[in-house]
Amino acid sequence: MRCAAALLLFACAAAQAAGQASPYRLAGGAQAYRLAAQPDALPGRPHAGLLAAAARRHGLDPALLHALVTVESGYDARARSPKGALGLMQLMPETARRYGSRDPLDPAQNVAAGTAYLRDLLALFDGELPLALAAYNAGEAAVLRHGRRIPPFAETRDYVPKVLAHYAQLRREAEAASPYRLAGDWRARLPRN
């Protein structure tokens, strides 16, 4: 079953890279990406509280943020890439500033800015997670320049399936740890008088 889920994620990313429509979309319209976030689902991971709070604030799944941080920095708040990306979510200095981070090596500022950036990329790419991740890695201009497809950069083509695979694994772990969760707006299921 785990292999099947991972293969599905890789197939979706590959389909997007090949220019085919991706069936892997986040639920909701451009303004609502609620992924049935489970704020306490990954409490044993580094920076779990910080990532959960940012996920809650922006309507994202904490497991998605953990997957991104795992791939970007391995949870190293002091990480610096050869290209100049900084911190847990590996933000370029210009992106960090654009999203209000004065110190991208500060975990709270980095996660706040990185999560807001990811949310905006999801809005820009209509909830297409592979495209949002490609834009997070290569820049939104690169994805737009390549016709809203994953750019033909080896790093980006490796990055997207890697984050998706980590995300799928973390979702399975979260669901195994807590099989009971609220999905969507449970209030809509109440009878109306």
- The catalytic site residues sit at 72
d(CA 152, CA 178): 39
What is the identity of the amino acid at 186? Answer: W
Distances (CA, A) of 117 to 114, 121, 135: 5, 6, 10
What is the identity of the amino acid at 5? Answer: A
Q: Spell out the long-range contacts of 52-58 with Cβ–Cβ below 8 A and sequence spacing 24 or more.
A: 54/111, 54/112, 54/114, 54/115, 55/115, 57/112, 57/115, 58/115, 58/116, 58/118, 58/119
What is the DSSP secondary structure assignment for residue 74, as one 8-state letter?
Answer: T
- 3-state DSSP assignment of residue 107: helix
